[in-house]
Amino acid sequence: MTQPATTPQLRCPLCGCTDFQREESRQESRWGFTSHRMTLLVCRQCRYVLHFYDKHSIFDVD
């Protein structure tokens, strides 16, 4: 019998903490023609910032 697939747990690459503060960000292109929305996860222990562009990641950050 096979085990169900599990979603990997997000960990900070610096300290290994799994507790994050979620922030939303917007970055405009050099000339202001386009704007990109990003999700930022800030580690609550060491404050390292993980950037997720357009919600495409192996981690579910919703």
Asked, for residue 32, whether it belongs to a domain, the answer is yes
Segments forming the whole domain that contains residue 30: 20-53
pLDDT band at 17 (very low <50, low <70, confident <90, very high): very high
Asked, for residue 39, whether it belongs to a domain, the answer is yes
Mean pLDDT of the chain: 81
Asked, for residue 11, whether it belongs to a domain, the answer is no
- Considering just the CA atoms, what is the radius of gyration of the chain in Å? 15
Provide the domain count of the chain.
1
- Nearest Cα to Cα of residue 54 among 34, 18, 43: 34
Asked, for residue 34, whether it belongs to a domain, the answer is yes
CA distance 20 to 43: 5
Q: Which two tokens stand for residue 27?
A: 């970055």
**How many CA atoms, within 13 angstroms, populate the side-chain half-sphere of residue 4?**
2
pLDDT band at 61 (very low <50, low <70, confident <90, very high): very low
Asked, for residue 33, whether it belongs to a domain, the answer is yes
